[in-house]
Amino acid sequence: MRRDLELMVRHNINAVRSSHYPNDPRFYQLCDQYGLLVMSEADNESHGTQAQFLADESWDNVVEHWNELIADSPDWTEATLDRVQRCVQREKNRPSIFSWSAGNECAYGCTLEVSLAWMKEFDPDRVTHYESAFYRNSKRSYDYSNIDLYSRMYPSQQEMLDYLAGDPDKPLVLVEYCHAMGNGPGDLEDYWQLIHTDPRLCGGFVWEWCDHAVLADHTDDGRPCYLYGGDSGEVIHDGNFCVDGLVWPDRRPHPGLLELKNVQRPARVVAHDPGAGMLTLRNDLDFTNLDEVVDLSWELVCDGIVLDRGDLSFTRPVPPHTETQVTCRPQLPRVGRCHLRVTQRLRVGDAVRAAGQELGFDEVAVPVADPRNQQSVQLLEAPPGAVSPAVEQDPSAITVRGDGFQYRFDTGTGMPTSMLVGDQEMFTAPAEVNIWRAPTDNDRRIRLEWERARYPYAAVRAHECSAQTLDGSVVVRARMTLDAATIQPILRLDASWTIDVAGRLRCQMDVTRTPEFPTLPRLGLRFFLAPELDQASWVGLGPGENYPDKRQASRHGHFTSSIDGLFVDYLRPQENGSRGDCDWVRVEQADAARGLTVTSPRPFSFNASRITQEQLSITRHDVELDPDDQVVLCIDHAMAGIGSNSCGPELLARYRVDDETYHVDLVLAPTRR
C-alpha cells in the first residue's frame, strides 16, 4: 500500500478515488501522511441490473428501466443508506477525504436521494458526488440538490464543452477517464489542455491504477507469467478487461504512467519569445507558490545533441494559477533542428521524493536559419556520379548493381526483395507497404472495421514496373495498388525507387487512399532485416515508446537501444514500441560492421522488433511470444494515435490516418566496413 501511494506521489498524482468501496483504514491514514486527496466511495453498485432482458434493448430503453430494480426501489433504501453511513462514519475524521461518493453505476432513484440527503446533512463541509445520477427514467422528477459535483465517465471533450456551454451551476469532475488498458492512454494531454482552460473543470481520476492479473509462474529466464479472465477455464469472465492499469501487477510503471506524470507537471511553459529571450510559465499548483518548491533548468538540444544548458531564476513570487516570465538566452546555431527543454525539479525533498527529483519538463521548438537536421540533409543529398549503377531487367525482376551493392526488385510488386551489400544480404524477406498494426486494447472497437476491410491481409501488387537510368542514378518506377481479396483497392500508389552511385535507395510514393475505407492503423514500409542488426540508434523522441497523442513523457535527443530493449511487454500482446518525430534511425550490428540508416525530409516514426505484427495480433499472453530470427523494421510515414476507446470516446480526428493523399519520401543508406 505504501509502495502504491509513494509511486503516485512520485508521478504527480494528487488524488485517489476509493472505487468502488471503502478501502482499508490504513489507506486513509497513509493518504493523510502523504498529502493525497481522497474521494471515498460507498460500497453501492448495481451495474448488473442494466443487463436485464427487455423487449426493447435500445440504449434509451435500457436507461429507462435500469434504476427500477434497486436504485429507485424503496425496498433497497435501508441497505443503500446503511452502506453510505458506514463509509462516512468510519472515516469522517480523516483530513485527506475531500469528497464522499454515494456509489458507482447504480443509476439514480429514491435510495440514492435519501442517502445523499443524509450525507450532506451529516457532513455539509465535504463535497458530495454520484456519477450515476446521470441515468434515470422519465417517470418522475428527481432531486439532485444534495450532489455538489457533476460527474461523467469517459466523456468526449466535446461533451465537456457542451456542458460548460450550458452555464452549469456545478463543477465537472471526470470520475473515470483515459482508460489505461494496454498501450495507453493516448489522450491525457488533450484532456488537460481543455481542463486548464476553465476553473469549472476539476480534473479527473484515470481508470485505473494497476493491471489486475494473477501471477501463475515464471519463465526460465525469470519473466512473470500472468493470467487473466478465461485462463482458468471459467465460463463467465471479462478477458483482459481488468488488465487496464498505469502499472503492471508488480508495480513497474507503464509508459502511460510516465505520460501522466509529465501531463500533470506543476507548471507549464505557455509562451516563448526567442527574440527577447523570454519564457512565460504558468503555475498550475492550487495552493503553493511555484518559486518556493521548484528549481528550473534548461537545455538547448539540436540534432539530438545538447549544445547549451543553464539554470533559470524566478524574479518574483509565483502564486497558484498565475504566470511569470523568466529570462533564457541560449546561444543558437544557424542550422539544425533545435528544441529548448525546460526541466522542473523538486527544490526540497520530502518523505517520498528526494531533492532534485524531476517533476516534469516542457520542450519548445526554436527557430533557426536552417531548421533541418543536418545529418539528414547529408543523407538526402545524392552524391554526383559519373557512372550510373548497372541495371538488368527481365519479366519477373529488376536488378541494380553498383560498387559493392546489388539490389533486386520484384516486378510483380514493385518492391525491393534483396539488398546485397558487399557479400552480405541485409533482407530476410521482401519489403512491404504496411498499413496494419497489431490492435491495441484501445483499438478493440475500430479493429472490427479494420478486419472487415481486410487490412491484416492487404498486399501490394504492381500493374506496371520498369527501370531507367537518369542523372547518374537508376530509377525503378512502379504503379501499384494495395489490395486484399474480395474488396476494391485500399490504396493506389505511384512509386519511384532511386538508387545512386553510393548505393543509397530513395523511395518516393504518391499514395491515394480510397475514402470509403476506414481510417488506417498506419502508413509506411516494413523491412525484414538480418538478425545481426540488433542495435538501434535514432534522433527523435525517446527514450521510451511514443505515439502522436502519447508523447508528453518523451523528449528530443539522440538515443540508443538494443532491438529487444525497444519492446514493451504488455500482458496482452499488441502494438508497442514506436518512436516518433524522428529525423533518422539506424539499425546495425553491435560492432557497427554493417547497418542500415533511414531518413526522410519530414519527421517519421519507426518500430524495430523481433516480433511481427502478425504474431502480436493473435497471441494472448506476452510470455507466449516467440521472437523471430530477424529484425522487423517499420518506417511509418503516418501512425494512428492511441486514444482510450477501449472504454472511452473515439480517437480524435487529428490523430487518425484518413487523409485521401500522402507523399512518402525516405532514404535507405546501407553502411559497411
pLDDT in tens, 657-673: 999 999 999 999 999 87
DSSP characters over 361-418:
EEEEEE--SB-S-HHHHHHHSPPP-SSPPEEEE-SSEEEEEETTEEEEEETTTTEEEE
How is the chain split into domains, by residue range?
A: 2-258, 267-371, 409-672
Distance CA 612, CA 346 (A): 42
**Which of 41, 176, 259, 299 is an active site residue?**
176
Confidence at residue 386, expressed as pLDDT on a 0 to 100 scale: 62
Q: What is the mean pLDDT of residues 485-506?
A: 97
Distance CA 46, CA 70 (A): 7
Q: Compute CA distances 17 → 28, 156, 486, whole Å.
A: 11, 21, 50
- Give the whole-angstrom CA distance, residue 76 versus residue 103: 14
Q: Is 395 exposed, middle or buried (0-12, 13-18, 19+ CB in 10 A)?
A: exposed
Q: Where does the pLDDT of residue 474 fall: very low under 50, low under 70, confident under 90, or very high at 90 and above?
A: very high
* Rounded CA separation 491/605 (Å): 20
Percent of the chain whose pLDDT exceeds 90: 96
Return the CATH number of the domain spanning residue range 2-258.
3.20.20.80
Cα–Cα separations (whole angstroms), residue 410 to 425, 458, 460, 505, 512: 16, 17, 11, 15, 22
- In the annotation, is 105 catalytic? yes
pTM: 0.96
| 372-410: pLDDT as tens digits | 999 999 999 877 766 889 999 999 999 999 999 999 999
pLDDT of residue 673: 77
**CATH says 409-672 is which class?**
mainly beta
Q: Mean per-residue pLDDT for 70-98?
A: 97
Selected catalytic residue, list 41, 45, 64, 105: 105
d(CA 344, CA 603): 27
Quickly count: other Cβ atoms within 10 Å of residue 505's Cβ: 24
Cell numbers for 404, please give them. 559493392
Burial 43-78 (b: 16+ CB within 10 A, else e): bbbbeebbeeeeeeeeeeebbbebbebbbbbeebbe
Quick one: average pLDDT of 314-319?
97
Q: Residue 634's closest CA among 588, 579, 590? A: 579
Instruction: Tell me the three cell numbers of residue 31.
Output: 493518504
Distance (Å, whole) CA 452 – CA 472: 46
Check whether 241 has a pLDDT greater than 80. Answer: yes
Nearest residue to 452 (alpha-carbon basis) of 392, 518, 510:
518
Nearest to 627 by CA among 252, 219, 228, 253: 219
Q: How far is CA 492 from the centre of its chain?
A: 29
CA distances (Å), 382 to each of 185, 374, 402, 503, 505, in order?
A: 41, 14, 15, 10, 10
pLDDT digits (tens, 9 = 90+) for 155-191: 999 999 999 999 999 999 999 999 999 999 999 999 9
Q: How far apart are CA 128 and CA 126, in angstroms?
A: 6
Q: If you compute the radius of gyration of the chain from its CA atoms, what whole number of angstroms results?
A: 28
CATH class of this structure's domain 267-371: mainly beta
* Percentage of the chain exceeding pLDDT 70: 100
Structure confidence at residue 51 (pLDDT): 87
pLDDT at 385: 65
Q: Which residue is it, cell 477525504?
A: 97
Q: Which residue has the cell 488537460?
A: 192
Tell me what the mean pLDDT of segment 483-499 comes to: 97
Catalytic residue status for 131: no
Q: Look at the block and give the residue holding cell 532514404.
A: 667
- Spatial separation of the C-alpha atoms in residues 214 and 226, rounded to whole Å: 5
In the structure, what pLDDT confidence band is assigned to residue 326 with cuts at 50, 70 and 90?
A: very high
Per-residue confidence band for 250, with pLDDT thresholds at 50, 70 and 90: very high
Region class of 380: left (phi > 0), else alpha (psi between -120 and 50), else beta: alpha
Residue 446 contacts residue 519 (beta carbons within 8 Å)? yes
Rounded CA-CA distance 187/620 in Å is: 25
